[in-house]
């Protein structure tokens, strides 16, 4: 089978894509490509000025791009509710790409609602947002929900215990937990969407230098990052390919985990890859779903 590239993306005119964290990095690259293929793209992010700058950069490449912006802070449930309400009162959403994320926050911090910041943003914020915009997804003919995880979802330290890091906080352990939760949530969502025209797919982008590395601690590591980017990391453009494949390819399957097909899965054309061990366990999926509803106070009815 031929390797997938964005050249395979069919015309997206008439479809609406909603992308979180779309003002930079992988999210912006995903928005840029979908807009170039005719989709109406809603760029969601925390800062209005950065969103406007990101939209202007896309229009510089694609003057006819159909773009809108949405202020969304996944670390504040009031912002999640407000942003979701704007979407639900609009038209159908064909593609929801849960892309935004935090990584390697040096010290334990909390969201406005008291959740550990990394888990609260990367998982709980997206869980709540997906639940609240679900009526708009249901109105589309065959909506897709793509959630961006990471290779860290496979780490042993990512076990879904002590979710708020109350007992012990380690930056990359909190990240690994949030990324495993992204996959477990997606598989549970896919299970609940079985028999419908809707699809839920988890992806990981491999390794790419993006704004996620801004919190990396240590002067030596920060100096090494540009070298690592040239030697071992892919580009944000290439790292967007798994999201684009999951959003547009007719071969993307409900409940799949998609990542780069390279030997180390750090770069290369996208393809289905193995799930983190146990991520498809219905017991873990149901437990995370119930816990997420309890913490956010938002019931997610599919």
For residue 161, how many other CB atoms are within 10 A of its CB? 7
Among the listed residues 68, 130, 124, 53, the one whose alpha carbon sits nearest the alpha carbon of residue 97: 130
Q: Would residue 245 show up in a list of annotated catalytic residues for this protein? A: no
CA 299/CA 302 separation, integer angstroms:
10
Helix (H, G, I), strand (E, B) or coil at 39: coil
Q: Is 20 exposed, middle or buried (0-12, 13-18, 19+ CB in 10 A)?
A: buried
CA 104/CA 127 separation, integer angstroms:
21
Among the listed residues 81, 46, 25, 38, the one whose alpha carbon sits nearest the alpha carbon of residue 236: 25
DSSP labels, 229-286: HHHT-B-HHHHTHHHHHHHH-TT--TT-EEEE-STTSSSSSEEE-PPPTTTT-HHHHH
For residue 134, how many other CB atoms are within 10 A of its CB? 21
Characterize 250-285 residue by residue with b for buried, 16 or more Cβ atoms within 10 angstroms of its Cβ, and e for exposed: eebebbbbbbbbeeebbbbbbbbbebbeebbeeebb
**Catalytic-labelled residue, pool 89, 169, 175, 245:** 175
CA 17/CA 40 separation, integer angstroms:
6
The residues annotated as belonging to the active site are: 175
């Amino acid at each position: 089978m031929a390797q997938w590239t964005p050249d395979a993306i069919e015309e997206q005119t008439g479809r609406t894509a909603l992308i979180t964290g779309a003002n930079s990095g992988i999210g912006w690259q995903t928005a840029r490509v979908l807009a170039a293929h005719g989709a109406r793209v809603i760029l969601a992010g925390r800062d209005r000025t950065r969103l406007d700058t990101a939209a202007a950069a896309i229009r510089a490449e694609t003057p006819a791009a159909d773009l809108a912006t949405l202020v969304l802070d996944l670390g504040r449930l009031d912002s999640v509710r407000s942003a979701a309400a704007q979407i639900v009162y609009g038209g159908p959403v064909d593609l929801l790409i849960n892309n935004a994320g935090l990584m390697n926050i040096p010290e334990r911090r909390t969201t406005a609602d008291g959740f550990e910041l990394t888990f609260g943003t990367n998982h709980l914020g997206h869980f709540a947002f997906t639940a609240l915009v679900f009526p708009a997804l249901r109105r589309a003919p065959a909506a897709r929900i793509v959630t961006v995880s990471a290779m860290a979802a496979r780490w042993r330290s990512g076990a879904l215990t002590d979710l708020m890091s109350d007992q012990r906080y380690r930056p990359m352990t909190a990240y690994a937990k949030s990324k495993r939760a992204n996959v477990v949530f997606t598989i549970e969502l896919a299970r609940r969407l079985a028999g419908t025209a809707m699809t839920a797919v988890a992806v990981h982008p491999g390794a790419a230098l993006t704004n996620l590395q801004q919190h990396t601690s240590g002067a030596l590591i920060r100096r090494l990052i540009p070298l690592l980017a040239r030697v071992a990391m892919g580009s944000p453009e290439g790292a967007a390919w798994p999201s684009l494949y999951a959003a547009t390819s007719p071969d993307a399957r409900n409940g799949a985990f998609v990542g780069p097909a390279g030997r180390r899965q750090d770069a290369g054309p996208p393809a289905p890859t193995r799930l983190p061990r146990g991520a498809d366990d219905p017991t873990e999926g149901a437990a995370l779903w119930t816990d997420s509803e309890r913490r956010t106070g938002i019931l997610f009815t599919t």
